[in-house]
Amino acid sequence: MSIDFALFFFAKGIIPGEVYFGFFYVPFALGILKNLLGIFTSKNKQETNDKLLSFGAYLYPSLNIDRLVNEFLGDKNVVAIARNPHLFEKYEIPILWLSKVEKENAISPTHLERIHHWVVTSIKSEDALIIDGVEYLILENGFEPTFKFLLNLKDHILLRNSILVLVVDERALEEKHAFLLQREFKKII
């Protein structure tokens, strides 16, 4: 029923004023209210709380690896570069340990090109890579080389429709460094 048609019936007294108000103004007011509430509840584009992650690059501000693997990565094939390999042991995830100790599956944090090569040869389409120890990489290499390294990895991961998750405690970073990471990586909340 169009508004002109309804006005005709209202003007002729066929539709009482209360009914006209109820049928035409209440839905209009509810639509405006819905739009206003949508503005106040919209998500920040840099943050996501979807359960399963789609391909992309993310920041995960917690050492709760159980939640990361179970809720956000699901049944993805996961590999990890980790400063804390014990966090990943129960998942039997292939790990490259960030350490200056010479041991099998360990690599010095200063060998960014070797780490990059390991990632490029280990990650296949639709896999997930977790990097735990970004702060350690920054400590050993400086922020700028580490950031460039992470951006390069991100590009390789995205070309494979895969997932890159950086486990980072932003409190350990300078504010401008945390800001730069947040510009490139969506924060998982």
Q: State the DSSP code for 142.
A: -
* pTM greater than 0.75 (yes/no): no
Q: How many CB atoms sit inside 10 A of residue 137's CB?
A: 24
In the β-sheet with 163-167, what is the strand arrangement from edge to edge?
Answer: 47-48, 186-188, 56-60, 163-167, 128-132, 78-82, 95-98, 106-107
Among 126, 101, 129, which Cα is nearest to 115's?
129
User: Is the Cβ–Cβ distance between 58 and 163 less than 8 Å?
Assistant: yes
Alpha carbons 26 and 19: distance in angstroms, whole number: 10
pLDDT for res 53: 82
Tell me the C-alpha distance between 71 and 76, whole Å.
Answer: 11
User: In whole angstroms, what is the distance from residue 98 CA to residue 134 CA?
Assistant: 10
pLDDT of the chain along its 189 residues, tens only? 455 555 565 566 666 666 655 555 665 555 655 655 554 444 443 444 457 888 899 998 888 888 888 888 888 888 999 998 888 888 888 899 999 999 888 999 999 999 999 999 888 888 899 999 999 999 999 999 999 999 999 999 999 999 999 999 888 889 999 999 999 999 987
What domains appear along the chain, each with residue ranges and CATH number? 3-41 (no CATH), 47-188 (3.40.50.300)
How many CB atoms sit inside 10 A of residue 15's CB?
18
pLDDT of 49 reads: 43
